[in-house]
């Protein structure tokens, strides 16, 4: 089996910030593929999640798989999930560092409220402070999601 490594760079760390209208989850993107070709830090979505606690819990599960090496559970891989914008959904997916486990979260149109979903694929930063913040999101906490840089 051939393995390849890809350097992933983000403009800044992804963050969950409190704001007047609820919380804002900013997922930073790396270089990605779009219908227009390769783009540095593409933006796929800006709007609200209709089920914030469920989405946060599921995103953490996808990120946990990306960070795991099941044959060496004490070591964390430095891998982040991949996001794909398909126009009608956002798909977050990952493989474990050992390649033995796959996880996927599809956020369909009913789970998104707001802006249009773009098209393309890239990695998103899910760092340790963000993981801790996502674990505290409540079911009734409004959550604005931005996938990609602020405009």
Q: pTM for the complete prediction? A: 0.77
Task: Check if the beta carbon of residue 145 is closer than 8 Å to that of residue 46.
Answer: yes
pLDDT above 70 for 78: no
| Mean local confidence (pLDDT), 38-48 | 93
Domain boundaries, the chain: 47-145
**47-145 fold:** DNA Polymerase III; Chain A, domain 2 (3.10.150)
pLDDT greater at residue 6 or residue 32: 32
pLDDT band at 21 (very low <50, low <70, confident <90, very high): confident
């Amino acid at each position: 089996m051939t393995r390849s490594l890809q350097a992933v760079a983000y403009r800044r760390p992804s963050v969950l910030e409190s704001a007047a209208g609820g919380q804002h989850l900013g997922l930073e993107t790396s270089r990605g593929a779009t219908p227009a070709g390769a783009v540095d830090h593409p933006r796929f979505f800006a709007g609200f999640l209709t089920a914030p606690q469920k989405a946060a819990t599921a995103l953490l599960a996808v990120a946990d798989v990306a960070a795991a090496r099941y044959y060496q559970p004490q070591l964390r891989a430095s891998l982040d999930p991949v996001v794909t914008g398909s126009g009608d959904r956002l798909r977050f997916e990952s493989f474990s560092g050992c390649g033995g486990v796959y996880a996927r979260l599809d956020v369909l149109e009913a789970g998104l409220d707001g802006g249009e979903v773009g098209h393309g694929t890239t990695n998103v930063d899910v760092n340790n402070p963000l993981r801790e913040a996502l674990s505290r999101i409540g079911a009734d906490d409004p959550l604005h999601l931005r996938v990609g840089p602020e405009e």
